[in-house]
């Protein structure tokens, strides 16, 4: 196998994770949308999600959705980012469902849908505390009254998002707000709420504990399936595989060097003033991997004796003093990726993607 900078992807582990998440959620009456944005909708990984039994796909980027459709994907696709007013035609053409919070955009989606002779389904997003997208709770009923009058639009339910901006954790109480709003809409306006979409991976813990409110019937899962982690709750999900993605980079220098640079310190190449602690002479390695390739803060050395000291555009500097491994120029070092790391390396044209399925590697 070539020693080029590469992301190794174990498709069987992703399929396994998808199947386990789907099983857990289906036992609670909850559908699972497989979120593809974390890996830029790479087709091989999308297939693994589908083989794992997800109920539909979801992405925040229209570019990814275009590629999914061009690859022949016929599954239901939900647009997770509230649509741009300038892009409503594409949203209606390529997406079955979109999440929305602006009446003006919903009206434009309705006009586009009427021109195409279709009904576009929407989920109305409600802000229950995270302060990203969504209608404030007190304005939901009035907004629904306006939305149901829009021709070409079918309001299928309510949704919410947590943990992405404000870091608010999903709880029974804030998700139950969505359930109660759904009941109120049905009782007062006679509009059935088929979907109550209760967030993403951060809501999975409530499902595991049996604490998710009855009525929540959809989750949008990306990180949990892909990495077996839950960043918002700061945990590794121990019943899932955590190593489906491994980034490998070649060592291009190994030398003993001081721990503090010599001379007057100014700003680095990115305008920051670096700080250093003097811990003496250290054994250091450089790998052919830099900030142009990946979000370095989203990488974790597989070897726990290795520490990432920092990076420039093309080089990542490692402290290898404490590892028991003998590291030489030409060796490869492996890194786990966090969700932020996966976002960056999946779309980097400098990182080769290599896939493993049934113990066979392929490009």
Strand locations in the chain (E): 6-10, 31-35, 56-59, 77-79, 97-100, 120-127, 135-136, 153-159, 195-197, 218-221, 229-230, 235-236, 245-258, 281-287, 299-301, 307-311, 316-319, 332-337, 352-357, 360-362
| pLDDT over 90 at 62, yes or no | yes
Under the banding of pLDDT at 50, 70 and 90, the label for residue 1 is very low
Query: Residue 274: beta bridge partners?
Result: none
Annotated active-site residue in 13, 15, 37, 241: 37
Of 333 and 264, more confident: 333
Provide the pLDDT for residue 135. 96
Q: What is the CATH number of domain 245-362?
A: 2.40.37.10
Provide the pLDDT for residue 89. 98
| pLDDT over 90 at 272, yes or no | no
* Alpha-carbon gap, residue 108 to 227, rounded angstroms: 37
37 is catalytic: yes
* DSSP 8-state assignment for residue 347: T
pTM higher than the cut 0.85: yes
* DSSP 8-state assignment for residue 201: G
Provide the pLDDT for residue 269. 67
Residue 272's contacts (CB-CB under 8 Å, 6 or more residues apart) are none
**Stretch 31-57: mean pLDDT:** 97
Parts of the chain belonging to CATH 3.20.20.10: 11-236
Under the banding of pLDDT at 50, 70 and 90, the label for residue 119 is very high
CB 208 within 8 A of CB 235: no
**Stretch 173-201: mean pLDDT:** 97
Other CB atoms within 10 Å distance of the CB of residue 279: 11
Under the banding of pLDDT at 50, 70 and 90, the label for residue 248 is very high
* Alpha-carbon gap, residue 142 to 156, rounded angstroms: 16
Of 132 and 104, more confident: 104
| pLDDT over 90 at 38, yes or no | yes
- pLDDT tens, 41-51? 999 999 999 99
11-236 fold: TIM Barrel (3.20.20)
Parts of the chain belonging to CATH 2.40.37.10: 245-362
Mean pLDDT of the chain: 95
Provide the pLDDT for residue 2. 54
| pLDDT over 50 at 361, yes or no | yes
């Amino acid at each position: 196998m070539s020693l080029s900078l590469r992301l190794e992807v174990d498709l069987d582990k992703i399929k396994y994770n998808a199947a386990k998440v789907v099983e857990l959620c289906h036992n609670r009456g909850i559908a699972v949308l497989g979120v593809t944005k974390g890996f830029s909708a790479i087709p091989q990984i999308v297939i693994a999600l589908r083989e794992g039994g997800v109920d539909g796909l979801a992405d925040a980027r229209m570019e990814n959705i275009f590629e999914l459709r061009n690859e022949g994907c016929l599954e239901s696709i939900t647009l997770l980012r509230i649509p741009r007013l300038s892009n409503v035609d594409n949203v209606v053409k390529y997406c079955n469902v979109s999440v929305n919070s602006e009446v003006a955009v919903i009206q434009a989606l309705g006009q586009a849908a009427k021109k195409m002779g279709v009904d576009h389904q929407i989920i109305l997003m409600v802000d229950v505390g995270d302060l990203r997208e969504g209608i404030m709770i007190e304005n939901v009923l009035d907004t629904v009254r306006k939305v149901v009058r829009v021709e070409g639009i079918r309001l299928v339910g309510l949704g919410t998002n947590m943990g992405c901006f404000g870091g608010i954790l999903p709880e029974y109480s804030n998700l139950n707000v969505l359930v109660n709003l759904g009941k109120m809409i049905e009782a007062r306006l006679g509009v059935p709420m088929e979907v109550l979409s209760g967030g993403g991976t951060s809501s999975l813990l409530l499902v595991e504990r049996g604490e998710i409110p009855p009525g929540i019937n959809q989750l949008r899962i990306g990180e949990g399936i892909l990495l077996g982690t839950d960043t918002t709750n700061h945990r590794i999900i121990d019943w899932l595989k955590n190593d489906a993605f491994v980034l490998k980079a070649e060592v291009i220098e190994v030398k003993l060097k001081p721990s503090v640079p010599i001379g007057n310190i100014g700003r680095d190449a990115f305008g920051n003033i670096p700080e250093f602690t003097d811990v003496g002479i250290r054994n250091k390695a450089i790998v052919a991997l830099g900030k142009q390739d990946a979000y370095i803060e989203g990488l974790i050395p597989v070897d726990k004796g290795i520490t990432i000291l920092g990076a420039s555009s093309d080089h990542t500097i490692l402290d290898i003093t404490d590892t028991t491994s003998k590291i030489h120029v030409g060796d490869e070092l492996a890194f786990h990726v966090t969700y932020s790391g996966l976002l960056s390396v999946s779309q980097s044209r400098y990182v080769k993607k290599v896939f493993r399925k049934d113990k066979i590697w392929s490009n």
